[in-house]
Amino acid sequence: MYSDLVLEHFSNPRNVGSIPDADGVGLIGSSICGDMIKIFIKVKDNRIGDIRFQTFGCGAAIATSSMITEMVKGKTMEEARGVTNEAVAEALGGLPPGKMHCSNLAADAMNKALDDYEGKGPRKSRKPLIDKGFGVRGGREMPSEEMKRPPER
C-alpha cells in the first residue's frame, strides 16, 4: 500500500519537465520493469539551482522522481550525492518492498546527472548514458546534442 505522500507526489509531481541548457543530464532505465527516468540539473554557485525530471514509469517512480528533486534542490553537489534511495523512500513515508527499485532509479539518475556535470559522464568520457549493467538491453550512447533536444511530441 502506498503512503499518502507517495499518492500526493504522484498526483501532483514537482519539477516535471526538462532544462534545455542543462549543465548535467542523467538517464537510467530498469531491466526489472523497463521504466526510465531522466534528470536535468542546472548548477549555480556549486549548488543545484534547478532540477527537472521526465519519468516514463510507475506511480512510485514518478513520486520518487518528484521527491528527489525537492530534496536536492539548493544543495551542493556533495550534499546531493548523500541523498540515497533509502532516504527518498523514507521521505515519502516508505515504499512497498516490491517498489524499492523505483527509488533506486531516481537516485541513480540524479547521480548520473551529477557525474555528467562533473565531467565523468558520457559527454566527456563517452560512457554509455544508459547503464547496460543496470540492465537496459540494447542501451546506446546518446550524443550530447540529442540529449539537449526536447522530447518529440
Nearer to ligand FES, 71 or 136 (CB): 136
Q: Which of 67, 102, 107, 136 is catalytic?
A: 102
Site for ligand FES in 28-47 (CB under 6 A): 30, 33, 35
How far is Cα of residue 129 from the mean position of the Cα atoms in its chain? 12
Beta strands in the chain (DSSP E): 24-29, 36-44, 47-56
CA dist 47 and 80 (Å) reads 9
Please state the φ and ψ torsions of residue 110, each to the nearest 5 degrees.
-65, -45
Rounded least distance, CB 66 to ligand FES, Å: 13
In the annotation, is 58 catalytic? no
Binding status of residue 102 toward ligand FES by CB under 6 A: yes
User: How many of the chain's residues bind ligand FES (CB under 6 A)?
Assistant: 10
Cβ proximity of 109 and 28 under 8 Å? yes
Residue list 49-88, contact with ligand FES (CB under 6 A): 57-58, 60-61
The residue from 89, 105, 129, 130 that contacts ligand FES (CB under 6 A) is 105
Gap between the Cα atoms of 23 and 132, Å rounded: 23
Residue ranges that bind ligand FES, judged by CB under 6 A? 30, 33, 35, 57-58, 60-61, 99, 102, 105
Q: Which residues are catalytic?
A: 33, 102
